[in-house]
């Protein structure tokens, strides 16, 4: 990924994803899954940087754990 694509993964269009998939020996579904995981991880890291958001996230996780 280029630096611009890492900053904004939405820049990677379908033909680029297909090219990445072919070049890595994977199918396009694997590339899409990786892109989604990358985005979710980035969101999580941003939340961890903000103490208030991290505390809210922990409270939500505890509340969900009690329901199961």
| pLDDT tens for each residue of 21-60 | 999 999 999 999 999 998 888 888 887 777 777 788 788 8
The residue among 19, 49, 25 whose CA lies nearest residue 5 is 19
Token pair listed for 2 = 């280029």
How far apart CA 30 and CA 25 sit, in angstroms, is 10
pLDDT computed for residue 67 by the predictor = 59
In the chain, the domains with their CATH numbers are 3-67 (1.10.260)
pTM: 0.64
User: Taking 90 as the threshold, does the pLDDT of residue 9 lie above it?
Assistant: no
pLDDT computed for residue 1 by the predictor = 74
């Amino acid at each position: 990924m280029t630096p611009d694509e890492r900053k904004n993964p939405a820049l990677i269009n379908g033909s680029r994803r297909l090219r990445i998939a072919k070049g890595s020996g994977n199918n396009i579904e694997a590339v899409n899954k990786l892109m989604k995981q990358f985005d979710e991880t980035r969101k999580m890291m941003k939340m961890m940087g903000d103490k208030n958001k991290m505390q809210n996230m922990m409270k939500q996780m505890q509340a969900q754990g009690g329901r199961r």
